Amino acid sequence: MLEIFRNMFRRKLRTILTITGITVGIFAFTVMGSMALRFNKMISGGKSFITGQITVFPKGTSFTTGTTGLLPLDVLKRIEKVEGVEAVAAGVELALKEPDPDNPTGGAGLGIPPTIEGTDLDSGHRNRNWTTLDMKAGRFLQKGDLDSYVTVGYTIATDNNLKVGDKFAIRGRDFEVVGIVDQTLTGPDSYVFMPLKPARELLIESNPFLKSLKERSDEAAKISDAALASLPAESRKQILEARAFKFEDVTQVAAISWQDGQDPEAVVDRIKEQFKDEVMVLSPAKMGEQIDKASAIFNAIILGSAVIALIVGGFSIINTMIMSISERKKEIGIKKAIGASNSSIAWDYTLEAGFIGIVGGVIGMALGVLVAILINAKTKASGAEIFLIRAWFMAVVVGFSFVLGIIAGVIPALRASKMKVVDAIREL
């Protein structure tokens, strides 16, 4: 065993260069793999959420430009009557903080920026896959809660140093934290859940167009019917239009649950059919497929990086071992002459390659984890940790590098073991 280590460093520079090759490959593998873990975790959480309900957006919503319309209350009430629909929950979403114009998505590309989720506590809607969230402390919002109560996600709580009972100022308004959701490694970590009413108010406040509609509507409401009747027709029409804006119509998204025993896709088709001019319906099955496609591409990229690590690292090990073996041909001859079996020769060289692999693997893995931790620390401020570091994955990476070394070492080692003693001895 000791001999194997000494042999590794008989040609220090060459061994170090080979190890460096492995290190680079394994580093890439670790970094990309940790990113994939994070991404897949996020995706699978999102997938189980999106496939646990039927999600409805106003017609004209664009996910790429972020444009969104509103879902009038009347439409939601009519959707509720569609056959198979159990409940419809209105929802409002907005960024926790006023977006920075220089970084409008608020994240580092990957990850979910801190978001306010206005939650309809009275609807009776339930997501099939996310019935409850595990709580780290306190409780989730419930029916009848005060408008000033919020439940916050794990990342929000950590970043803002929140405990249950703390005051939390959001967009200039004070809220009280009643619960902290346990880490999910996906969406809910960066959510602030609040009742629908304050969320709507914050949304209107943040949106100049909605704000002006609301102000005009409030002004119009102050005018008595008697006063209205005395106004000229033109003005009367304007005031009636202003009054038509209702606070309850400020809904950006609705979650629909289906009754037990109903086929969600059939319910989706019915809603699509009846409301094709008003809403855009996301089918659980189709969304699931879309998400799978996206994560398949991402995973292929990760797998690709692992394969490159394998090829580059593997060849450099093979090369080094072939050189080492031809240099030590005589030594192999001596060992065989004094009785070494073929398998013990093959084993020694295979292990040597395996150790080169594992040393490179441990260094590459350590560097990868270090870089992942540093980048995570940097991007955490914006609510998006890009890498998920898992002990099992680190073990897999090191194991992989060892196996890589072994596989790359096998061919040269077998060549060494089959060397004819007389040929090797003649090198004397």
Partner 1 sequence: MSRTLIQAKNLRKKYQMSKTNIVQALDGVDIEVQEGDFSAIVGPSGCGKSTLLHILGLLDKLDEGEYNLDGLDTTKIREKDANQIRAKKIGFIFQGFNLIPSLTALENIMQAGKYGGLNARQRKERAEELLDVMGLQERKKHKPNELSGGQQQRVAIARALVNKPAIILADEPTGELDSATSKDIIDLLKKLNQENNQTFLMVTHNMEVAEMCKKIIRLKDGRNA
Residues of this chain that bind partner 1 (CB under 8 A): 2-3, 6-7, 10, 330-331, 334-342, 344, 420-422, 425, 428
Minimum CB distance to partner 1 smaller for 163 or for 426: 426
**Min. distance of Cβ 393 from partner 1 in angstroms?**
36
Minimum CB distance to partner 1 smaller for 212 or for 343: 343
**Min. distance of Cβ 331 from partner 1 in angstroms?**
6
Minimum CB distance to partner 1 smaller for 175 or for 355: 355
Q: Is the dihedral of CA 219, 220, 226, 227 positive or negative?
A: positive
Minimum CB distance to partner 1 smaller for 125 or for 335: 335
Quote the CA–CA distance of 349 and 358 in Å, as a whole number. 14
CB 394 within 8 A of CB 365: yes
Q: Which residue has the tokens 């405990």?
A: 163
Residue 4's contacts (CB-CB under 8 Å, 6 or more residues apart) are 348, 351, 352, 355
Minimum CB distance to partner 1 smaller for 73 or for 425: 425
DSSP string, 182-230: PP-SSGGGGEEEEEHHHHHHHHHHH-HHHHHHHHHHHHHHHS-HHHHHT
Minimum CB distance to partner 1 smaller for 18 or for 283: 18
Quote the CA–CA distance of 327 and 420 in Å, as a whole number. 15
**Min. distance of Cβ 8 from partner 1 in angstroms?**
10
Minimum CB distance to partner 1 smaller for 301 or for 337: 337
**Min. distance of Cβ 325 from partner 1 in angstroms?**
14
**Min. distance of Cβ 299 from partner 1 in angstroms?**
44
**Min. distance of Cβ 21 from partner 1 in angstroms?**
23
CB 280 within 8 A of CB 59: yes
The CA R_g of the chain, rounded to the nearest whole Å, is 32
**Min. distance of Cβ 416 from partner 1 in angstroms?**
14
Quote the CA–CA distance of 241 and 219 in Å, as a whole number. 12
Nearest CA among 16, 56, 13 for reference residue 282: 56
Parallel/antiparallel/unpaired status of strands 173-181 and 167-170: antiparallel
Q: Which residue has the tokens 């990113």?
A: 35
**Min. distance of Cβ 7 from partner 1 in angstroms?**
6
| Ramachandran area for residue 334 (φ above 0: left; ψ -120 to 50: alpha; else beta) | alpha
**Min. distance of Cβ 324 from partner 1 in angstroms?**
12
Dihedral angle, C-alpha 64, 108, 50, 171, nearest 10 °: -90
DSSP string, 57-82: EETT--TTT-------HHHHHHHHTS
Quote the CA–CA distance of 248 and 25 in Å, as a whole number. 56
Classified as helix, coil or strand, 280 is strand
**Min. distance of Cβ 344 from partner 1 in angstroms?**
7
Token pair, residue 274, equals 């009846």
Minimum CB distance to partner 1 smaller for 110 or for 334: 334
Minimum CB distance to partner 1 smaller for 114 or for 409: 409
Minimum CB distance to partner 1 smaller for 6 or for 81: 6
Residues in the chain: 428
**Min. distance of Cβ 335 from partner 1 in angstroms?**
7
Minimum CB distance to partner 1 smaller for 4 or for 282: 4
Classified as helix, coil or strand, 231 is coil
